[in-house]
Structure formats: structure tokens, C-alpha cells
Amino acid sequence: MSGMSDTAIPAATLVVVRDRPAGAPELLMVQRTATMAFAAGAMVFPGGRIDAADRDQAGDDELGAARVAAIRETLEESGIAVGLSPQPDPAVAAELQRRLHAGAGFAALLAEHRLALDPDALTFFTRWRPSFRHARIFDTRFFLAAVPPGDWTPLAQEGECADALWITAEAMLDRIGRGGAQAIFPTVRNLERLARFASHEEAIRDTLAHPAELVSPWVEARDGVDHVCIPSGIGYPVTSEPLSSAVRA
């Protein structure tokens, strides 16, 4: 399959983890609206493109720009503030979300509220860039972060997100498996990986044991059936899926 790295769109995604006293941790997920050009209607982790302003805030450091984009997009799409200092409460975060939707610049908004970025709150989890031909290819860096203290109810971004919710990885995989939700190939594989962890801390330990490397899914025939595949040994319990059922992105 032909590589698409020269046309890949840099993007960032944030997996926000909410530990619970009992049971598996919940993850913040949003549902893209049915009118979106990319992954319409799919359940995803908050995220989006890295823009020029993100790079300016990060001093042109690409990984730093990805962290800024992940923090900004999560706030825009869910109203949940992660990676800011001092930590704003949900009411202030909702105001920040409203102002971002109205067109305010992120850097100016932070300065106005005397907030600073806290990029160390985010742990680099993985990076995905498909290698097969597709109308739109994203080079996406994923991060992990714990939800800040407080009662955080997601507020879905009107026009981009049809829903925003807390849900365990296992419950979301079950919903996808039953046809009650849809998700693209990278989201499913990352949900399977995250379903193995009993806490944010456990997810971080596993992440540090599998240093993030570029994951580039490819298509190959296995026993006469085309599969979408990723490498083994990099932390994922499932490394292939029949092309017929995989939603590629």
C-alpha cells in the first residue's frame, strides 16, 4: 500500500480517564455528528487538527503543539478542562468552552483568565498514521490524562458532537459490537488496549512499558481474507480485523 505521510494531517487526541471507587475506569468519549466529513457519527476520543496557533503556543515543538491541541480540543468538544494551571472549576471551563466556540483565541483566553498550560498532565500514549489510501489521512498523537478533581459533566460541542459521555472501554466495545455505536479502526484497537487497565495509574505504567511508536495499519491477506493489521508486541491485545468489518481511518 502506498504511504501517505506527505499528505497526512497532523492531529491530536486526548483520552481522559476517570477512576472509580469500584469497577473499571470511565473514559471521556464524544460522538461526531452525522454531517462531519471525517468519521461521521462515530464515537471517538476528543481531538482534532493541530493548527498554527497551537504551534505558536508550543514554540514550534510538534509534540508540544499536539499537547496544546489535545487540551484545546477536549475543552472545545466536551467542556472539560485538562492540562491547565491553576485548575479551573467546571463553571469556568464551561465559560472557556463558550468563548472558544464564539471564536476567541485559546492563548488569549488563557491569559485573560490567568491560566497556564500544564502539558505534563498529559502522557504520550501512542501515534497512529494509516498507510493505506484513504480520502483523508490523519497523523494523530494520542495522550492520556486523569480527569481533574470535581464533578465534570461533559457538554457536547454543538455542531460537531452529537453526544459526550463517560463510559468504560468494555461498555463502549460492547455497544459497538452490538451495533449500537460505530467507531473507526484505531478507536476500537485503543479501546481494547484501555479495557485491560483498572486505573489511570495502571494505564500509565503500561504506556511507559511500551514506548510510543508510530502505528501504521496496513491491509494484507490472511487465509484468503483481507485484514487490516497492526504490529504485535506494542501493547495491543488485538492486532488485526477483517477488512469487511473494519471502519478505516
Residue 144 is assigned to a structural domain of this protein:
yes
Residue 175 is assigned to a structural domain of this protein:
yes
Strands 84-85 and 116-117: antiparallel
Q: Mean of the per-residue pLDDT values for the chain?
A: 91
Look at residue 141 and tell me whether its pLDDT is greater than 70: yes
Residue 73 is assigned to a structural domain of this protein:
yes
Phi, psi (degrees; rounded to nearest 5) at 173: -60, -40
Residue 181 is assigned to a structural domain of this protein:
yes
Contact 125, 207 (CB under 8 A): yes
Task: Give how many domains the chain has, as a whole number.
Answer: 1
Confidence label for 2 from pLDDT (cuts 50, 70 and 90)? very low
Distance CA 246, CA 240 (A): 9
Share of the chain above pLDDT 90, in %: 81
Residue 225: CB atoms within 10 A of its CB come to: 11
Read off the CATH number of the domain in which 161 is found.
Answer: 3.90.79.10
Q: What's the rounded mean pLDDT across residues 70-83?
A: 97
Residue 223 is assigned to a structural domain of this protein:
no
Residue 229 is assigned to a structural domain of this protein:
no
Distance set, CA 13 to CA 10, 23, 114, 123, 233 (Å): 11, 25, 25, 11, 22
Q: What is the pLDDT of residues 145-165, one digit of tens each?
A: 999 999 999 999 888 888 999
Look at residue 34 and tell me whether its pLDDT is greater than 70: no
Residue 105: give the domain boundaries. Answer: 9-210
Residue 43 is assigned to a structural domain of this protein:
yes
Residue 169 parent element (H or E): helix 169-177
Residue-level pLDDT at 158: 84
Residue-level pLDDT at 160: 81
Residue 247 is assigned to a structural domain of this protein:
no
